[in-house]
Amino acid sequence: MTPLNKIILFIILSTSWPVSANQDITFSQLNIALKDYSKKIEECDLSKIQIEIDLVKDKSAIEVILSTPSVLSYLNEKARNECLQPQKGLLAEAILYTKAESESSPAYKLGLNTQKMVFKVPFDVENSFNELNDSQRNTLLSIKHINLPFDALHLYESALSSSDSNKAM
C-alpha cells in the first residue's frame, strides 16, 4: 500500500468513525428513552381509574358529557400526558438529537417513526374541548379525579346510565 493510499484510508476511517460512534450513541439514547417511556406507559395504564359520576352532584357534568362526549377523550389524553412526564419530554429530546443524523441512519429513521407514533396530536378532539364555554369546561374539570388517567368509555357509560335512570324517575 502506497503512503498516499494509507493517508486516504486514514482520513476515511478517522472521519467516518466519529459519525458511526455518534450514530450509535444517538441510537442508544433514543432506545433507552423509548424503553423508559414504555415503562411509564405501563405505569400510567395500571393507574388508570374508573371515575364514578354522582347523579345528583354531577348533573350538569352529565349533561356536558352527553352533549360532547369527545371531550372525555381530550381530558383523558391530557391527564395521560401529564402522567407520562418527564419520560415523554426526555423521549422528545432524544428524538430531537436524531434530527442531526443523516436521513439514512437507523437513529434518524427510528426517531422519525417514533415521532409520528407518539406525538401525533388529535386537534379535532382538543378543539371540541376548547369550543365549550367556560362554565362547561369548569364543570368537567370539577369532576373528582378528572386530572388522572381514566377510562373515558366507562365515564361516558356511567353518565349515560345516570341520565337513563334520571329519566325513569
Listed by start position, the domains of the chain span 3-168
Give the separation between CA 54 and CA 158, rounded to whole angstroms.
9
The set of cell numbers assigned to 96 is: 430531537
Q: Alpha-carbon distance 106 to 92, whole Å?
A: 17
Q: Percent of the chain at pLDDT above 70?
A: 80
Question: Which pLDDT value is given to residue 32?
Answer: 92
Q: Please report which confidence band the pLDDT of residue 8 belongs to, taking 50, 70 and 90 as the band edges.
A: very low
Closest CA relative to residue 22, chosen from 116, 106, 112:
106
Backbone torsions φ then ψ of 150, nearest 5 degrees: -140, 170
Query: What H or E segment, with its residue span, contains residue 136?
Result: helix 134-141
Neighbours of 75 (CB within 10 A): 22
pLDDT, tens digit (0-9, with 9 covering 90-100), for 46-97: 998 888 877 667 788 889 999 998 899 899 989 999 999 999 999 999 999 9
Is the pLDDT at 112 greater than 70, yes or no? yes
Instruction: Give mean pLDDT, residues 127-140.
Output: 91
